[in-house]
Amino acid sequence: MTETERLMVIRDYHAVELRKYENLLADPSKSVVNKKLTTEYVINSICEFYNISKKELNIRRRDQMLVRRRSFTIKILRDYCSLSTNKIAITLNYNNHATILYHLRKVNDYLSNEFYGYREYKKEYNQILNYLGIYEEK
């Protein structure tokens, strides 16, 4: 097995593991409500949550807070609106889908608790989901 093939097997294994445990990222005291959200609703709600405009959400600055907001928006669009990476890229005015894939990989890493000190990412993500009405109390 070549190095490239080995890396592809590892990547595929981790992708399956991420999908398997994705529902465990949420607060265990809450249950997921199966909702199909619209793109406009998600983007408008995230802008309201952060008290920013759509233009500010799409600014290509590399401030940590702006990148985090964009990453959360991308993850929610992917997971709850079932959009492809190409459609997300078009919606958020990115040149191609590779940036979307990068955002998804990074936000999954942050939410998986593999990195020390990223509890605030998980907490903020769950607050956004609550704001969108994706979770409800048991």
CATH code of the domain containing 95: 1.10.1750.10
Whole-angstrom Cα distance, residue 80 to residue 90? 17
Taking residues 19-41, report their average pLDDT. Answer: 58
pLDDT tens sequence across 126-137: 999 999 988 644
Of 119 and 20, the one with more pLDDT:
119
Domain of residue 18 covers 3-137
Report CA torsion sign: 116, 25, 110, 45.
negative
Whether the Cβ atoms of residue 81 and residue 43 lie closer than 8 Å to each other: no
Whole-angstrom Cα distance, residue 126 to residue 25? 9
Taking residues 61-89, report their average pLDDT. Answer: 90
Number of domains in the chain: 1
Q: Model pTM greater than 0.75?
A: no
